[in-house]
Structure 1
Amino acid sequence: MIGIAPAAAQTPPATPAAPTILRAPDYTQDADWLCRPGRADACAADQTATVIAANGKRTIEPFVPAAAPKFDCFYVYPTVSLDTTPNSDLNAGPEEKQVAAFQAARFAKNCRVFAPLYRQVTLTALRDIMTGKAVPADRALAYADVRAAWYEYLRRDNQGRGVVLIGHSQGAGILKQLLIEEIDRKPIAGQLISAMLIGTNVGVPEGRDVGGELKTIPLCRRADQWGCIVSYVTFRADAPPPANSRFGVVAQPGMVAACTNPAMLAGGKAITDNYLGTNGAGIASSKQAPWTSDGAAVTTPFVKAPGLLSAECVANGKFRYLAVTVNAVPSDPRTDTIGGDVAVGGQILADWGLHLIDMPVAMGNLVTLSASQAKTWLKRPGAR
């Protein structure tokens, strides 16, 4: 539920005692959208990457968004708001803008990106909840906002286009609820290219890909499959989830948490196409080590390290998760230390795994997958 927030905002002020009345969104107004096509907003942020090869050679990979994308992406961001209230307001702070730049903007390579501002449960509230405090956070309010934004998007912008739903953590949980209540078993499901529900738990019957929390929408197992779900949570391969982890496990009897490896949907271990933040994973994680042994600076916002990371969906007791391995080679000058663990007061919270880089470890795979799924959707029988 924790997303990437800017390092400048290290210590939010204490939560005020007095309740705050939050303005309701009006999604007919562009101001209540974090991202919309054609704007110089968070989802138009620079995605240039420095590609660092296994021999240390560096090249610059420019980013060019699609000029006339044929499908849409609807993105809901994770828990990042540093507002002092239990639910956030609708003013985008640096934290909302940065997480959208890290998680959603790269999808503009292929799609139009829409992202509503919403009154999410704040990072401030989450920290209080984790310490046992009673916090009047309203999750239903957050969901109602996104639901309203979804219907306004359909009314105003969709015009029959296919759409990829993209969410992380709190955002993914909200989109899961939207799928259950508003899309599954309804005509609009025919416009669902895929749903990328990352960093949350989606219950499926053990050994099956469909019939769990989503009754008719299966897990994605092929790159040319549409109308399906990609979902996983990440842990280091050598640091599996401890017994108290909330990730990679579901409470429903007979069900397990879905795990689909975007680098190898059919199953098995594969090298991932990573795009990692040059300066690390945000305020909840440790600072990223120098990317190469010579300590040379990286001047682009992203680093791509081909072959450095691999991932595999694994079953470990009651847990199902994407196990990430750093492929350390002594002759490789690239760092073996990749940040992404959640840390509080310098202490790593093992039960959160690599939550902060759930998407970056396989961002290239997710973007490529969205395009291949859309290509199939556009060629479906009866397509206009």
Structure 2
Amino acid sequence: MPNNHHLKVCGVSLLFIAASLLSACGSDSDNNDNNPSRYADDSLWLCKPGIDNDRCQTVDLDVTLVDPDANTSVVTHEIADNPEFDCFYVYPTVDMRAEPGNTTDLDDEQPMLLPLYNQAARFTQMCRVFAPKYRQMTIGSYTLESPFESEFFQMGYSDIEEAFDYYLNQNPERNFVLIGHSQGSHVLIDLLKNRFENNDALKQRMISALLIGPTNRLKVPEGQRVGGTFSSIPLCEADTEVGCIVAYDSIAQGTDRTATSAPRPCVNPTQLGGTPTIAANTIYDRNQGIPFPDGVETNWIGYPGLYSADCAADGFLEINTTPGRNTLFTPQLIQLALNQASAADSGGTLHRADFNILMGDLLRIVDTQAANR
């Protein structure tokens, strides 16, 4: 994958030779000043500390929790005051055009906001969230023979790499978590390969990478934690481990699917310091396209301990209702509703709810990992 940094050449004339010898060709920060990133433009960020209308700061994330006895309580979302680390988020495919190509209208934010609110915004309770817009490839681009080698994927990747470089330049000493879903995870996989594998300094700053819903693009040899896609970045096996990857593709238990020759990587978040196999808190959005109960005034509803989660032999994270819990929100019903509401083919899985189902565990894991970096 080519690195998209522009090569800089210092022009030197006889008139200024003495000054040139003293100052050489300038520092990286000088170059950044002379050739400012497009991402210095606040309009290219959905979330970034200090911008007007930071969408992660303005959305109402208060949630109504429903306990096993159907008692309810409202929990107010509190944004962390002066958090010690950052979260860099890349949203999934929101351009649902059937023809291969790229998003060109980055002013139309509405399609970007649903995944942002359901996946990244809640992390503001512990980190500063940076969420760049990017010229992602359309859903139709995935029908190409080699979509990740296409010019369309490369354009989206180059945007995110530029946004990440801008973030690094502005925040040279802060640790961070990488968060992505679907195409966002695909882009972050390439960012990790190109920029982290041989860069110990960057790896030291990375708390973890949540590569959620990678749809089998992430490859790790069966029974191993490292190898395949990455030679030096392992899958996480504890919530106290840092510099590692959390990745899974969720599916309702009992869903038929085609057998694969090798299982996809599956890191079960419930096994990383939580209650094994029990999802800590599942949080759904009123605007997500699923049935929403009457009488709930918040835009979010949460079900602690409602679902079980187990890695199946083929690597899918199978979701089922916890034994003894009665609910209309079975994962099988949620999967059906989400796939009917989506313009994209989710392959008959829980892809669009990957974050929602394990949100409580993901928040807990990142919080613990950050304390151990």
Alignment TM-score, normalising by the size of structure 2: 0.79
Q: Does the 8 A contact of 2:93 with 2:137 survive in 1? A: yes
Amino acid at match of 2:205: Q
Amino acid at match of 2:368: S
Amino acid at match of 2:159: D
**1:208 paired residue number:** 224
**2:184 paired residue number:** 171
**2:70 paired residue number:** 56
Cα distance, 1:31 vs structure 2: 1.1
Amino acid at match of 2:212: I
Unmatched segments (≥5 aa) in structure 1: 1-24, 131-135, 244-248, 282-286, 378-384
Q: 283, 287, 290: which one pairs with 1:288?
A: 290
Whole-Å separation in 2 of the counterparts to 1:262 and 1:326:
16
Whole-Å separation in 2 of the counterparts to 1:335 and 1:352:
17
Amino acid at match of 2:178: L
Amino acid at match of 1:358: D
Q: Deviations over 1:201-236 (max 9, x none)?
A: 311111110122111111111111000000000111
Q: Does the 8 A contact of 1:233 with 1:358 survive in 2? A: yes
1:235 alignment partner, SS class: strand
**1:41 paired residue number:** 54
Higher strand share: 1
Over the matched positions of the two proteins, sequence identity in percent amounts to 33
**2:15 paired residue number:** none
1:205 alignment partner, SS class: coil
Whole-Å separation in 2 of the counterparts to 1:240 and 1:302:
30
Amino acid at match of 2:330: D
In the alignment, structure 1 residue 356 sits paired with structure 2 residue 316 = no
**1:276 paired residue number:** 283
**1:324 paired residue number:** 319
Change (3 A) 1:183 1:348: closer
After superposition, residues 191-206 of structure 1 pair within 5 angstroms as 191-200=205-214, 201=216, 202-206=218-222
**1:88 paired residue number:** 103
- Equivalences, count: 324
In the alignment, structure 1 residue 111 sits paired with structure 2 residue 127 = yes
Cα distance, 1:365 vs structure 2: 0.9
Cα distance, 1:329 vs structure 2: 4.1
**2:298 paired residue number:** 300
1:88 alignment partner, SS class: coil
Report the structure number with the largest CA radius of gyration: 2
**2:368 paired residue number:** 372
Amino acid at match of 2:307: L
**1:262 paired residue number:** 269
Whole-Å separation in 2 of the counterparts to 1:275 and 1:137:
37
After superposition, residues 119-130 of structure 1 pair within 5 angstroms as 119-123=135-139, 125=140, 129=143
Cα distance, 1:280 vs structure 2: 5.8
Higher helix share: 2
Q: Does the 8 A contact of 1:56 with 1:333 survive in 2? A: no
**2:23 paired residue number:** none
Superposition RMSD in Å: 2.9
Whole-Å separation in 2 of the counterparts to 1:36 and 1:84:
31
Q: Does the 8 A contact of 1:242 with 1:350 survive in 2? A: no
Cα distance, 1:32 vs structure 2: 0.9
Q: Does the 8 A contact of 2:239 with 2:273 survive in 1? A: no
Q: Does the 8 A contact of 2:273 with 2:365 survive in 1? A: no
Unmatched segments (≥5 aa) in structure 2: 1-36, 145-149
**2:87 paired residue number:** 73
**1:336 paired residue number:** 330
In the alignment, structure 1 residue 183 sits paired with structure 2 residue 196 = yes
Cα distance, 1:79 vs structure 2: 0.4
Q: Does the 8 A contact of 1:242 with 1:351 survive in 2? A: no
Q: 26, 34, 48: which one pairs with 2:38?
A: 26
Alignment TM-score, normalising by the size of structure 1: 0.77
Amino acid at match of 1:230: V
Cα distance, 1:184 vs structure 2: 1.4
Determine which structure has greater relative contact order: mean sequence separation of CA pairs < 8 Å that are 6+ residues apart, divided by chain length.
1
2:64 alignment partner, SS class: strand
Amino acid at match of 1:178: L
Cα distance, 1:38 vs structure 2: 3.7
